[in-house]
Amino acid sequence: MALIDYDPPQRFVAGTVGPPGQRQFFLQASGGGRLTSVSLEKAQVSVLADRVNDLLDDYAGGEATEQAAAAHADLAPLETPIEEDFRVGTMGLSWDPNRQLVIIECHAAGDAFDDPEELAESAERDPADDPTQLVLRISLSPAAARAFARRSAKVVLAGRPPCPFCAGPLDPTGHICPRANGYRR
């Protein structure tokens, strides 16, 4: 397994490229002269932000307060050049109780980790021993993880506004709304 490890990163953020409705989502980690950008779906960013917040609420206690996260707030755009190292398939999230850190793992799409049945069928094959599989591992302090989750939620919400009738995304030219009998809004 090819592991790209940032323990801890100098910077770890979610961001987008493109106009609303055509945005491509990225997670970007940097540190030690390295820059890693992985692409993923909007829903993955949203779920990751929610789960990081849940994990911090359950385990981090007072270390992940809003005040502590404010010190780690990062509003800068993604670093350039933005070159996709891989597309994220499966993600993992854990809490390291010994070091009091949040661990985020992003496995490349197409890895054996994507299909549990395929992995179970080939028990003799350990995905960790396969050098073709890419994994990005990020270790974050509770405050940095809370700041990451806050920014990620803002990035997701910065897209197209929802239609007040059907909650579908509104394009600048409007959309065909099923709740308004197909009239353009």
pLDDT digits (tens, 9 = 90+) for 17-50: 998 888 999 999 999 999 999 999 999 999 999 9
Per-residue tokens: 52: 């990081």
Strands 134-140 and 84-96: unpaired
pLDDT digits (tens, 9 = 90+) for 123-181: 445 555 666 689 999 999 999 999 999 999 999 999 888 888 888 888 878 788 888 77
pLDDT digits (tens, 9 = 90+) for 94-126: 999 999 999 999 999 985 555 566 555 544 455
Give the CA distances from residue 11 to residues 34, 37, 55, 73, in Å, rounded to whole numbers and listed in that order: 11, 12, 20, 10
Q: Is the model's pLDDT at 184 over the cut of 60?
A: no
**pLDDT at residue number 141:** 95
Q: Note the pTM of the prediction, 2 decimals.
A: 0.82
Closest CA to 102 of 54, 38, 151: 54
Domain edges within the chain: 2-184
**pLDDT at residue number 122:** 47
How does DSSP assign 114-182, residue by residue? G-HHHHHHTTTS-GGG-TT-EEEEEEE-HHHHHHHHHHHHHHHHTSPPBPTTT-PBPPTT--EEGGGTT
**pLDDT at residue number 80:** 93
Higher-confidence position of 118 and 79: 79
Amino acid at site 80: T
Q: Report yes or no: 168 and 162 within 8 Å, Cβ to Cβ.
A: yes
**pLDDT at residue number 35:** 97
Q: Give the model's confidence band at 63: pLDDT under 50 very low, under 70 low, under 90 confident, else very high.
A: confident
Q: Is the model's pLDDT at 90 over the cut of 80?
A: yes
